[in-house]
A and B are shown apart, each in its own frame.
Chain A
Amino acid sequence: MKILNAIIAGVAQGSMIALVSLGYTMVYGILKLINFAHSEVFMMGAFFGLFLTVGFGLDTSPMFAGVAGTLAAMVLAGLLGALVEKVAYAPLRARSGGRSNTNTRITPLVTALGMSVLLQNLAQLLFTARYRSYPQLLPIENARTIVFVVAVVVMIALQFLVYGTWFGKAMRAVSVNVEAARLMGIRTGRVISMTFVTGSMLAALGGILYCLSQSQVYPTMGVVIGTRSFVAAVIGGIGSIPGAVLGGVLIGVIGELTKLTPYSGLQDVIIFTVLIVVLLVRPSGLLGKAGIEKV
Protein backbone atom coordinates (compact mmCIF):
# COMPACT_ATOMS: atom_id res chain seq x y z
CA MET A 1 0.00 0.00 0.00
CA LYS A 2 2.80 2.32 0.86
CA ILE A 3 4.45 1.44 -2.40
CA LEU A 4 1.31 2.24 -4.33
CA ASN A 5 1.09 5.61 -2.63
CA ALA A 6 4.68 6.25 -3.40
CA ILE A 7 4.14 5.41 -7.03
CA ILE A 8 1.17 7.72 -7.29
CA ALA A 9 3.08 10.50 -5.60
CA GLY A 10 5.97 9.72 -7.90
CA VAL A 11 3.84 10.03 -11.00
CA ALA A 12 2.53 13.39 -9.86
CA GLN A 13 5.98 14.59 -8.94
CA GLY A 14 7.27 13.15 -12.16
CA SER A 15 4.79 14.97 -14.35
CA MET A 16 5.94 18.22 -12.84
CA ILE A 17 9.53 17.24 -13.49
CA ALA A 18 8.53 16.30 -17.01
CA LEU A 19 7.33 19.85 -17.67
CA VAL A 20 10.82 21.09 -16.93
CA SER A 21 12.47 18.23 -18.83
CA LEU A 22 10.57 19.23 -21.93
CA GLY A 23 12.42 22.52 -21.96
CA TYR A 24 15.80 20.80 -21.77
CA THR A 25 14.91 18.32 -24.45
CA MET A 26 13.47 20.88 -26.85
CA VAL A 27 16.48 23.15 -26.67
CA TYR A 28 18.89 20.25 -26.94
CA GLY A 29 16.97 18.86 -29.88
CA ILE A 30 17.29 22.09 -31.80
CA LEU A 31 20.68 23.38 -30.73
CA LYS A 32 22.51 20.37 -29.35
CA LEU A 33 23.12 22.53 -26.31
CA ILE A 34 22.44 21.75 -22.66
CA ASN A 35 20.78 24.90 -21.42
CA PHE A 36 22.03 24.84 -17.85
CA ALA A 37 20.20 28.07 -17.19
CA HIS A 38 16.88 26.28 -17.64
CA SER A 39 16.72 25.25 -13.98
CA GLU A 40 17.06 28.89 -13.03
CA VAL A 41 14.18 29.83 -15.32
CA PHE A 42 12.16 27.24 -13.40
CA MET A 43 13.08 28.98 -10.18
CA MET A 44 12.44 32.46 -11.53
CA GLY A 45 9.11 31.30 -12.86
CA ALA A 46 8.10 30.32 -9.34
CA PHE A 47 9.18 33.71 -8.00
CA PHE A 48 7.34 35.51 -10.78
CA GLY A 49 4.28 33.43 -9.97
CA LEU A 50 4.54 34.31 -6.31
CA PHE A 51 4.84 38.04 -6.82
CA LEU A 52 2.31 38.24 -9.62
CA THR A 53 -0.29 36.14 -7.86
CA VAL A 54 -0.04 38.36 -4.83
CA GLY A 55 -0.05 41.40 -7.07
CA PHE A 56 -3.21 40.35 -8.85
CA GLY A 57 -5.17 40.50 -5.63
CA LEU A 58 -4.71 37.27 -3.79
CA ASP A 59 -6.98 38.22 -0.92
CA THR A 60 -9.85 39.61 -2.91
CA SER A 61 -10.11 37.07 -5.71
CA PRO A 62 -7.79 34.13 -5.19
CA MET A 63 -9.00 32.15 -8.18
CA PHE A 64 -8.43 34.97 -10.61
CA ALA A 65 -5.17 35.98 -9.00
CA GLY A 66 -3.92 32.43 -9.18
CA VAL A 67 -4.71 31.89 -12.82
CA ALA A 68 -3.68 35.36 -13.96
CA GLY A 69 -0.54 35.20 -11.90
CA THR A 70 0.40 31.85 -13.35
CA LEU A 71 -0.16 32.93 -16.94
CA ALA A 72 1.66 36.21 -16.45
CA ALA A 73 4.55 34.38 -14.83
CA MET A 74 4.75 32.03 -17.79
CA VAL A 75 4.92 34.96 -20.16
CA LEU A 76 7.66 36.63 -18.13
CA ALA A 77 9.60 33.41 -17.93
CA GLY A 78 9.28 32.98 -21.68
CA LEU A 79 10.73 36.43 -22.17
CA LEU A 80 13.53 35.60 -19.77
CA GLY A 81 14.34 32.47 -21.73
CA ALA A 82 14.37 34.39 -24.99
CA LEU A 83 16.61 37.02 -23.41
CA VAL A 84 19.08 34.41 -22.21
CA GLU A 85 19.20 32.97 -25.70
CA LYS A 86 19.68 36.33 -27.40
CA VAL A 87 22.34 37.56 -25.01
CA ALA A 88 24.38 34.47 -24.37
CA TYR A 89 23.84 31.81 -27.00
CA ALA A 90 23.01 33.58 -30.25
CA PRO A 91 26.25 35.60 -30.40
CA LEU A 92 28.25 32.39 -30.12
CA ARG A 93 26.36 30.83 -33.01
CA ALA A 94 26.96 33.85 -35.16
CA ARG A 95 30.62 33.75 -34.39
CA SER A 96 31.25 30.10 -34.96
CA GLY A 97 29.48 30.37 -38.30
CA GLY A 98 28.42 26.78 -38.31
CA ARG A 99 31.86 25.35 -37.73
CA SER A 100 31.93 22.73 -35.06
CA ASN A 101 35.10 21.73 -33.34
CA THR A 102 35.93 21.25 -29.71
CA ASN A 103 36.53 24.93 -29.11
CA THR A 104 33.19 25.96 -30.47
CA ARG A 105 31.47 23.35 -28.37
CA ILE A 106 33.09 24.21 -25.07
CA THR A 107 32.30 27.90 -25.28
CA PRO A 108 28.51 27.42 -25.29
CA LEU A 109 28.84 25.01 -22.38
CA VAL A 110 30.78 27.52 -20.33
CA THR A 111 28.32 30.23 -21.28
CA ALA A 112 25.35 28.06 -20.31
CA LEU A 113 26.96 27.27 -16.97
CA GLY A 114 27.76 30.92 -16.49
CA MET A 115 24.17 31.89 -17.20
CA SER A 116 22.94 29.40 -14.67
CA VAL A 117 25.27 30.69 -11.98
CA LEU A 118 24.42 34.28 -12.88
CA LEU A 119 20.66 33.83 -12.62
CA GLN A 120 20.85 31.84 -9.44
CA ASN A 121 23.00 34.37 -7.64
CA LEU A 122 21.03 37.25 -9.08
CA ALA A 123 17.95 35.75 -7.50
CA GLN A 124 19.92 35.38 -4.30
CA LEU A 125 20.76 39.07 -4.40
CA LEU A 126 17.29 40.23 -5.31
CA PHE A 127 15.23 37.90 -3.23
CA THR A 128 17.68 36.79 -0.51
CA ALA A 129 18.07 33.15 0.39
CA ARG A 130 14.94 33.31 2.47
CA TYR A 131 12.39 30.58 1.97
CA ARG A 132 9.01 32.02 1.10
CA SER A 133 5.74 30.18 1.11
CA TYR A 134 3.62 30.09 -1.97
CA PRO A 135 -0.10 30.77 -1.67
CA GLN A 136 -1.82 27.45 -1.37
CA LEU A 137 -4.57 27.94 -3.89
CA LEU A 138 -5.23 24.30 -4.52
CA PRO A 139 -6.90 22.01 -2.01
CA ILE A 140 -4.28 19.51 -0.99
CA GLU A 141 -6.11 16.36 -1.99
CA ASN A 142 -6.66 17.67 -5.48
CA ALA A 143 -3.28 19.29 -5.93
CA ARG A 144 -1.65 16.11 -7.15
CA THR A 145 -4.37 15.27 -9.62
CA ILE A 146 -4.43 18.77 -10.96
CA VAL A 147 -0.67 18.75 -11.45
CA PHE A 148 -0.88 15.47 -13.29
CA VAL A 149 -3.78 16.55 -15.48
CA VAL A 150 -2.18 19.87 -16.36
CA ALA A 151 1.05 18.13 -17.27
CA VAL A 152 -0.74 15.64 -19.50
CA VAL A 153 -2.72 18.37 -21.26
CA VAL A 154 0.43 20.37 -21.86
CA MET A 155 2.20 17.39 -23.31
CA ILE A 156 -0.60 16.62 -25.69
CA ALA A 157 -0.64 20.24 -26.77
CA LEU A 158 3.10 20.21 -27.29
CA GLN A 159 2.98 17.03 -29.30
CA PHE A 160 0.36 18.63 -31.50
CA LEU A 161 2.50 21.73 -31.86
CA VAL A 162 5.54 19.80 -32.96
CA TYR A 163 3.87 17.28 -35.24
CA GLY A 164 0.75 19.04 -36.42
CA THR A 165 1.71 22.62 -37.18
CA TRP A 166 3.94 24.29 -39.68
CA PHE A 167 5.99 25.81 -36.88
CA GLY A 168 6.58 22.39 -35.45
CA LYS A 169 7.73 21.19 -38.84
CA ALA A 170 10.09 24.11 -38.98
CA MET A 171 11.41 23.23 -35.51
CA ARG A 172 12.06 19.67 -36.54
CA ALA A 173 13.74 20.83 -39.73
CA VAL A 174 16.02 23.26 -37.93
CA SER A 175 17.03 20.52 -35.50
CA VAL A 176 18.57 18.42 -38.26
CA ASN A 177 19.84 20.88 -40.85
CA VAL A 178 19.97 24.56 -40.11
CA GLU A 179 21.38 25.57 -43.47
CA ALA A 180 18.75 23.72 -45.48
CA ALA A 181 16.07 25.18 -43.22
CA ARG A 182 17.29 28.66 -44.09
CA LEU A 183 17.06 27.79 -47.76
CA MET A 184 13.41 26.96 -47.19
CA GLY A 185 12.87 30.51 -46.03
CA ILE A 186 12.59 29.47 -42.40
CA ARG A 187 13.72 32.20 -40.04
CA THR A 188 15.90 29.92 -37.97
CA GLY A 189 16.73 32.58 -35.41
CA ARG A 190 13.08 33.06 -34.70
CA VAL A 191 12.41 29.34 -34.49
CA ILE A 192 15.19 28.94 -32.00
CA SER A 193 13.92 31.85 -29.92
CA MET A 194 10.43 30.45 -29.86
CA THR A 195 11.75 27.10 -28.75
CA PHE A 196 13.40 28.77 -25.80
CA VAL A 197 10.24 30.71 -25.05
CA THR A 198 8.09 27.60 -25.09
CA GLY A 199 10.48 25.61 -22.94
CA SER A 200 10.76 28.46 -20.46
CA MET A 201 7.02 28.87 -20.20
CA LEU A 202 6.69 25.19 -19.41
CA ALA A 203 9.43 25.44 -16.81
CA ALA A 204 7.63 28.32 -15.12
CA LEU A 205 4.41 26.33 -15.10
CA GLY A 206 6.29 23.44 -13.59
CA GLY A 207 7.74 25.72 -10.96
CA ILE A 208 4.38 27.09 -10.00
CA LEU A 209 2.79 23.67 -9.84
CA TYR A 210 5.72 22.51 -7.74
CA CYS A 211 5.09 25.32 -5.30
CA LEU A 212 1.37 24.72 -5.27
CA SER A 213 1.95 21.21 -4.05
CA GLN A 214 5.14 21.71 -2.10
CA SER A 215 4.86 25.32 -1.27
CA GLN A 216 8.27 26.91 -0.72
CA VAL A 217 10.08 29.31 -3.03
CA TYR A 218 13.79 29.99 -2.68
CA PRO A 219 16.65 30.88 -5.01
CA THR A 220 18.33 27.49 -4.98
CA MET A 221 15.20 25.50 -5.68
CA GLY A 222 16.19 25.17 -9.30
CA VAL A 223 19.30 23.20 -8.55
CA VAL A 224 17.76 19.98 -7.31
CA ILE A 225 14.73 19.93 -9.57
CA GLY A 226 16.78 21.14 -12.51
CA THR A 227 19.26 18.33 -12.09
CA ARG A 228 16.51 15.74 -11.80
CA SER A 229 14.70 17.13 -14.82
CA PHE A 230 17.84 17.12 -16.85
CA VAL A 231 18.56 13.53 -15.90
CA ALA A 232 14.98 12.68 -16.80
CA ALA A 233 15.40 14.22 -20.23
CA VAL A 234 18.57 12.25 -20.85
CA ILE A 235 17.11 8.98 -19.61
CA GLY A 236 14.06 9.35 -21.77
CA GLY A 237 16.16 10.24 -24.76
CA ILE A 238 17.23 13.81 -25.09
CA GLY A 239 15.57 15.47 -28.03
CA SER A 240 12.48 13.29 -27.72
CA ILE A 241 9.34 14.83 -26.28
CA PRO A 242 7.68 11.59 -25.23
CA GLY A 243 11.07 10.64 -23.84
CA ALA A 244 11.13 13.67 -21.58
CA VAL A 245 7.72 12.73 -20.23
CA LEU A 246 8.67 9.12 -19.68
CA GLY A 247 11.95 10.11 -18.07
CA GLY A 248 10.23 12.60 -15.82
CA VAL A 249 7.74 10.06 -14.53
CA LEU A 250 10.50 7.51 -14.00
CA ILE A 251 12.61 9.93 -12.02
CA GLY A 252 9.61 10.98 -9.97
CA VAL A 253 8.73 7.41 -9.13
CA ILE A 254 12.34 6.47 -8.37
CA GLY A 255 12.57 9.48 -6.09
CA GLU A 256 9.44 8.63 -4.16
CA LEU A 257 10.33 4.97 -3.85
CA THR A 258 13.78 5.87 -2.58
CA LYS A 259 12.20 7.91 0.17
CA LEU A 260 10.70 4.70 1.52
CA THR A 261 14.07 3.07 1.97
CA PRO A 262 16.62 3.87 4.67
CA TYR A 263 18.80 5.46 2.00
CA SER A 264 16.45 8.37 1.42
CA GLY A 265 19.29 10.88 1.78
CA LEU A 266 20.96 9.27 -1.17
CA GLN A 267 18.17 10.20 -3.55
CA ASP A 268 20.40 12.38 -5.64
CA VAL A 269 23.24 9.90 -5.57
CA ILE A 270 20.90 7.31 -7.04
CA ILE A 271 19.67 9.73 -9.64
CA PHE A 272 23.19 10.66 -10.69
CA THR A 273 24.17 7.01 -10.80
CA VAL A 274 21.24 6.23 -13.04
CA LEU A 275 22.29 9.10 -15.28
CA ILE A 276 25.85 7.89 -15.55
CA VAL A 277 24.78 4.34 -16.24
CA VAL A 278 22.38 5.43 -18.96
CA LEU A 279 24.97 7.69 -20.60
CA LEU A 280 27.51 4.92 -20.65
CA VAL A 281 25.25 2.11 -21.72
CA ARG A 282 22.71 3.77 -23.95
CA PRO A 283 23.45 7.45 -24.47
CA SER A 284 20.49 7.94 -26.74
CA GLY A 285 18.17 7.14 -23.85
CA LEU A 286 15.07 4.99 -23.71
CA LEU A 287 13.11 6.58 -26.52
CA GLY A 288 15.90 8.29 -28.35
CA LYS A 289 17.18 7.17 -31.68
CA ALA A 290 20.68 5.71 -31.63
CA GLY A 291 22.22 8.16 -34.03
CA ILE A 292 25.78 8.48 -35.22
CA GLU A 293 27.66 10.08 -32.38
CA LYS A 294 29.14 13.16 -33.96
CA VAL A 295 32.48 13.82 -32.43
Chain B
Amino acid sequence: MKIEHPNRPAPKAEAGTPLLTVDNLAVSYGGIKALKGISLNVNRGEIVAMIGANGAGKTTTLKTIARLLPISSGKINYDGRDLGPVSAESLVEYGVSLVPEGRGIFPNLTVRENLELGAWNHKSKSVIVETEMEVVRLFPRIGERVKQVAGTLSGGEQQMLAIARALMARPAMLLLDEPSLGIAPRLVADIFEAVARIAEAGTTILLVEQNTRLALKYSRRAYVLRTGEIAMSGNSKDLADNEEIKAAYLGG
Protein backbone atom coordinates (compact mmCIF):
# COMPACT_ATOMS: atom_id res chain seq x y z
CA MET B 1 0.00 0.00 0.00
CA LYS B 2 1.11 3.56 -0.58
CA ILE B 3 2.45 5.23 2.47
CA GLU B 4 3.02 8.77 1.33
CA HIS B 5 0.31 11.19 2.16
CA PRO B 6 -0.32 13.71 -0.60
CA ASN B 7 -0.52 16.52 1.95
CA ARG B 8 2.76 15.68 3.62
CA PRO B 9 6.31 15.50 2.23
CA ALA B 10 8.15 12.20 2.41
CA PRO B 11 10.75 11.80 5.14
CA LYS B 12 14.16 13.21 4.41
CA ALA B 13 16.02 10.31 5.98
CA GLU B 14 17.17 7.73 3.48
CA ALA B 15 16.38 4.06 3.85
CA GLY B 16 18.74 2.54 6.38
CA THR B 17 19.56 5.84 8.07
CA PRO B 18 18.05 6.84 11.40
CA LEU B 19 14.53 8.19 11.10
CA LEU B 20 13.87 8.34 14.83
CA THR B 21 16.58 9.08 17.35
CA VAL B 22 16.03 9.03 21.07
CA ASP B 23 18.92 10.53 22.99
CA ASN B 24 19.32 10.02 26.74
CA LEU B 25 15.61 10.34 27.38
CA ALA B 26 14.51 10.63 30.98
CA VAL B 27 10.87 10.72 32.01
CA SER B 28 9.44 11.11 35.50
CA TYR B 29 5.90 11.39 36.62
CA GLY B 30 4.25 11.13 39.96
CA GLY B 31 7.62 11.29 41.59
CA ILE B 32 8.71 8.07 39.95
CA LYS B 33 11.57 7.97 37.47
CA ALA B 34 10.05 5.87 34.71
CA LEU B 35 12.85 6.29 32.21
CA LYS B 36 16.37 6.98 33.42
CA GLY B 37 18.11 7.99 30.25
CA ILE B 38 17.55 5.71 27.31
CA SER B 39 18.95 6.08 23.86
CA LEU B 40 17.81 4.25 20.77
CA ASN B 41 17.33 4.78 17.11
CA VAL B 42 15.13 3.39 14.38
CA ASN B 43 16.35 3.42 10.78
CA ARG B 44 14.00 4.14 7.96
CA GLY B 45 12.33 1.01 6.71
CA GLU B 46 13.21 -1.08 9.78
CA ILE B 47 11.09 -2.88 12.31
CA VAL B 48 12.69 -2.33 15.70
CA ALA B 49 11.33 -3.94 18.85
CA MET B 50 11.47 -2.98 22.53
CA ILE B 51 11.16 -5.92 24.84
CA GLY B 52 11.36 -6.31 28.59
CA ALA B 53 9.31 -7.11 31.63
CA ASN B 54 6.17 -5.32 32.71
CA GLY B 55 6.87 -1.90 34.09
CA ALA B 56 10.28 -1.68 32.45
CA GLY B 57 9.28 1.52 30.69
CA LYS B 58 8.40 0.31 27.21
CA THR B 59 4.98 1.92 27.04
CA THR B 60 6.33 5.03 28.70
CA THR B 61 8.89 5.34 25.94
CA LEU B 62 6.29 5.09 23.19
CA LYS B 63 3.93 7.48 24.90
CA THR B 64 6.70 10.00 25.36
CA ILE B 65 7.69 9.76 21.72
CA ALA B 66 4.03 10.30 20.90
CA ARG B 67 4.19 13.36 23.19
CA LEU B 68 1.51 12.17 25.54
CA LEU B 69 4.03 12.37 28.37
CA PRO B 70 6.35 15.26 29.15
CA ILE B 71 10.11 14.89 28.69
CA SER B 72 12.14 15.43 31.83
CA SER B 73 15.43 15.53 29.99
CA GLY B 74 16.93 14.28 26.77
CA LYS B 75 15.91 14.64 23.16
CA ILE B 76 13.67 12.95 20.66
CA ASN B 77 14.50 13.60 17.07
CA TYR B 78 12.30 12.55 14.17
CA ASP B 79 13.54 13.07 10.64
CA GLY B 80 15.80 15.89 11.72
CA ARG B 81 13.13 17.61 13.77
CA ASP B 82 13.16 17.94 17.55
CA LEU B 83 9.89 16.52 18.81
CA GLY B 84 10.18 18.15 22.24
CA PRO B 85 7.99 21.17 21.53
CA VAL B 86 5.56 19.22 19.36
CA SER B 87 2.17 18.47 20.91
CA ALA B 88 0.47 15.09 20.79
CA GLU B 89 -2.25 16.44 18.54
CA SER B 90 0.24 17.71 15.97
CA LEU B 91 2.32 14.58 15.80
CA VAL B 92 0.12 12.92 13.24
CA GLU B 93 0.83 15.76 10.84
CA TYR B 94 4.50 14.85 10.90
CA GLY B 95 3.77 11.32 9.89
CA VAL B 96 4.08 9.50 13.22
CA SER B 97 1.13 7.47 14.47
CA LEU B 98 0.77 5.63 17.74
CA VAL B 99 -1.42 2.59 18.22
CA PRO B 100 -1.85 2.82 21.99
CA GLU B 101 -1.79 0.02 24.50
CA GLY B 102 -5.28 -1.34 24.95
CA ARG B 103 -6.25 -0.39 21.42
CA GLY B 104 -7.82 2.99 22.24
CA ILE B 105 -10.58 2.68 19.70
CA PHE B 106 -13.79 4.62 20.13
CA PRO B 107 -16.33 1.98 21.09
CA ASN B 108 -19.33 4.25 20.61
CA LEU B 109 -18.48 5.00 16.98
CA THR B 110 -18.79 2.65 14.01
CA VAL B 111 -15.74 1.03 12.47
CA ARG B 112 -15.93 3.41 9.54
CA GLU B 113 -16.23 6.42 11.80
CA ASN B 114 -13.16 5.25 13.71
CA LEU B 115 -11.25 4.96 10.47
CA GLU B 116 -12.40 8.35 9.27
CA LEU B 117 -11.14 9.95 12.45
CA GLY B 118 -7.77 8.33 11.91
CA ALA B 119 -7.36 10.18 8.65
CA TRP B 120 -6.27 13.41 10.23
CA ASN B 121 -6.75 15.58 7.23
CA HIS B 122 -10.48 15.12 6.92
CA LYS B 123 -10.90 17.62 4.16
CA SER B 124 -9.42 15.53 1.37
CA LYS B 125 -12.25 13.04 1.01
CA SER B 126 -10.74 11.20 -1.92
CA VAL B 127 -7.59 10.41 -0.02
CA ILE B 128 -9.66 9.09 2.86
CA VAL B 129 -11.71 6.82 0.63
CA GLU B 130 -8.64 5.53 -1.14
CA THR B 131 -6.78 4.88 2.09
CA GLU B 132 -9.76 3.13 3.58
CA MET B 133 -9.84 0.74 0.63
CA GLU B 134 -6.18 -0.10 1.07
CA VAL B 135 -6.48 -0.55 4.78
CA VAL B 136 -9.45 -2.85 4.33
CA ARG B 137 -7.46 -4.93 1.89
CA LEU B 138 -4.89 -5.38 4.62
CA PHE B 139 -7.48 -6.29 7.25
CA PRO B 140 -10.41 -7.92 5.48
CA ARG B 141 -12.16 -8.70 8.75
CA ILE B 142 -12.45 -4.97 9.36
CA GLY B 143 -13.78 -4.46 5.89
CA GLU B 144 -16.61 -6.86 6.57
CA ARG B 145 -17.65 -4.83 9.57
CA VAL B 146 -17.36 -1.20 8.57
CA LYS B 147 -20.88 -0.34 9.64
CA GLN B 148 -20.65 -2.18 12.95
CA VAL B 149 -20.32 -0.30 16.21
CA ALA B 150 -16.71 -0.69 17.25
CA GLY B 151 -17.52 -1.72 20.79
CA THR B 152 -19.08 -4.93 19.54
CA LEU B 153 -15.92 -6.18 17.84
CA SER B 154 -13.84 -8.89 19.41
CA GLY B 155 -10.53 -8.03 21.02
CA GLY B 156 -8.48 -9.09 18.05
CA GLU B 157 -10.72 -7.24 15.62
CA GLN B 158 -10.44 -4.12 17.76
CA GLN B 159 -6.68 -4.40 17.61
CA MET B 160 -6.85 -4.65 13.85
CA LEU B 161 -9.13 -1.63 13.81
CA ALA B 162 -6.69 0.30 15.96
CA ILE B 163 -3.83 -0.44 13.59
CA ALA B 164 -5.99 0.25 10.55
CA ARG B 165 -7.07 3.53 12.04
CA ALA B 166 -3.47 4.58 12.62
CA LEU B 167 -2.66 3.64 9.04
CA MET B 168 -5.40 5.93 7.80
CA ALA B 169 -3.06 8.82 8.49
CA ARG B 170 -0.55 7.21 6.15
CA PRO B 171 2.22 7.45 8.69
CA ALA B 172 5.83 7.17 7.67
CA MET B 173 6.45 5.77 11.15
CA LEU B 174 4.16 3.56 13.16
CA LEU B 175 4.47 3.11 16.92
CA LEU B 176 2.84 -0.11 18.10
CA ASP B 177 2.20 -0.70 21.79
CA GLU B 178 1.65 -4.31 22.81
CA PRO B 179 -0.43 -5.45 19.84
CA SER B 180 -0.66 -9.01 21.09
CA LEU B 181 -1.95 -8.23 24.56
CA GLY B 182 -5.12 -10.11 25.32
CA ILE B 183 -5.64 -11.33 21.78
CA ALA B 184 -6.38 -14.92 20.79
CA PRO B 185 -3.21 -16.55 19.36
CA ARG B 186 -4.60 -17.15 15.89
CA LEU B 187 -5.55 -13.52 15.46
CA VAL B 188 -2.17 -12.52 16.84
CA ALA B 189 -0.51 -14.34 13.98
CA ASP B 190 -2.75 -12.54 11.47
CA ILE B 191 -1.95 -9.21 13.06
CA PHE B 192 1.76 -9.73 12.95
CA GLU B 193 1.61 -10.89 9.37
CA ALA B 194 -0.18 -7.65 8.57
CA VAL B 195 2.47 -5.72 10.44
CA ALA B 196 5.15 -7.41 8.36
CA ARG B 197 3.35 -6.39 5.19
CA ILE B 198 3.04 -2.82 6.42
CA ALA B 199 6.79 -2.76 6.93
CA GLU B 200 7.39 -4.25 3.51
CA ALA B 201 5.45 -1.36 2.00
CA GLY B 202 8.02 0.97 3.53
CA THR B 203 6.53 2.07 6.85
CA THR B 204 9.08 2.27 9.65
CA ILE B 205 7.90 0.51 12.78
CA LEU B 206 8.84 0.74 16.47
CA LEU B 207 7.19 -2.12 18.24
CA VAL B 208 6.72 -2.68 21.97
CA GLU B 209 5.85 -6.25 22.84
CA GLN B 210 5.47 -8.44 25.88
CA ASN B 211 5.56 -11.50 23.69
CA THR B 212 9.32 -11.62 23.26
CA ARG B 213 9.33 -14.51 20.83
CA LEU B 214 7.06 -12.76 18.35
CA ALA B 215 8.84 -9.47 18.84
CA LEU B 216 12.22 -10.97 18.02
CA LYS B 217 10.81 -12.99 15.15
CA TYR B 218 9.35 -10.04 13.30
CA SER B 219 11.88 -7.35 14.02
CA ARG B 220 15.32 -6.68 12.62
CA ARG B 221 16.79 -5.18 15.77
CA ALA B 222 15.65 -4.97 19.34
CA TYR B 223 16.30 -3.13 22.59
CA VAL B 224 15.88 -4.78 25.96
CA LEU B 225 14.50 -2.49 28.64
CA ARG B 226 14.93 -3.09 32.33
CA THR B 227 13.65 -0.70 35.01
CA GLY B 228 13.85 2.37 32.82
CA GLU B 229 17.18 1.67 31.18
CA ILE B 230 18.41 -0.11 28.09
CA ALA B 231 20.04 -3.29 29.30
CA MET B 232 20.92 -4.77 25.97
CA SER B 233 20.46 -4.24 22.29
CA GLY B 234 21.36 -5.82 19.00
CA ASN B 235 20.09 -7.83 16.08
CA SER B 236 16.96 -9.71 16.93
CA LYS B 237 18.36 -12.99 15.70
CA ASP B 238 21.38 -12.67 17.98
CA LEU B 239 19.22 -11.68 20.93
CA ALA B 240 16.97 -14.68 20.36
CA ASP B 241 19.98 -16.96 20.72
CA ASN B 242 21.34 -15.09 23.72
CA GLU B 243 21.33 -17.22 26.88
CA GLU B 244 20.35 -14.42 29.20
CA ILE B 245 17.44 -13.38 27.02
CA LYS B 246 16.34 -16.95 26.63
CA ALA B 247 16.37 -17.47 30.37
CA ALA B 248 14.64 -14.23 31.27
CA TYR B 249 12.06 -13.81 28.55
CA LEU B 250 11.81 -16.91 26.45
CA GLY B 251 11.26 -19.53 29.08
CA GLY B 252 14.79 -20.97 28.97
Contacts and interface: CB of A to CB of B under 8 A. Distances in A.
Interface of A: 97, 166, 169-170, 172-173, 175-177, 179-188
Contacts of A180: 100, 104-106
B94 to A, nearest CB: 10
B68 A179 contact: yes
Given A182-B89, A184-B92, A185-B92, A176 B108 contact: yes
Contacts of A97: 29
Contact of A179 (B91, B93, B100): B100
Contacts of A185: 89-93, 120, 169
Nearest to B90: A185
Given A166-B122, A184-B118, A176 B106 contact: yes
A188 B117 CA distance: 13
Interface of B is mostly: mixed
A188 B68 CA distance: 13
A173 B109 contact: yes
Contact of A173 (B66, B117, B122): B117
Nearest to B29: A97
Contacts of A188: 89
Contacts of A169: 109, 113, 116-117
Contacts of B104: 177, 179-180, 183
A245 to B, nearest CB: 19
A183 B92 contact: yes
A179 to B, nearest CB: 6
A226 B118 CA distance: 38
B97 A183 contact: yes
Contacts of B169: 185
B88 A186 contact: no
22 contacts: A97-B29, A170-B117, A172-B108, A173-B117, A175-B108, A177-B105, A179-B68, A179-B88, A180-B100, A180-B105, A182-B88, A183-B97, A183-B100, A183-B104, A184-B92, A184-B118, A184-B165, A185-B90, A185-B91, A185-B92, A185-B93, A186-B117
A166 B165 CA distance: 16
Contacts of B117: 169-170, 173, 181, 184, 186
B98 interface: yes
Contacts of B105: 177, 180
Given A176-B108, A179-B104, A188-B89, 12 more contacts: A169-B117, A173-B106, A177-B106, A179-B100, A181-B117, A182-B68, A183-B66, A183-B68, A183-B91, A183-B104, A184-B118, A184-B120
Contacts of B116: 166, 169
Contacts of B166: 183
A186 B98 CA distance: 14
Contacts of B91: 183, 185
A155 B19 CA distance: 49
Nearest to B175: A183
B107 interface: yes
Nearest to B69: A97
B96 to A, nearest CB: 10
Nearest to A289: B108
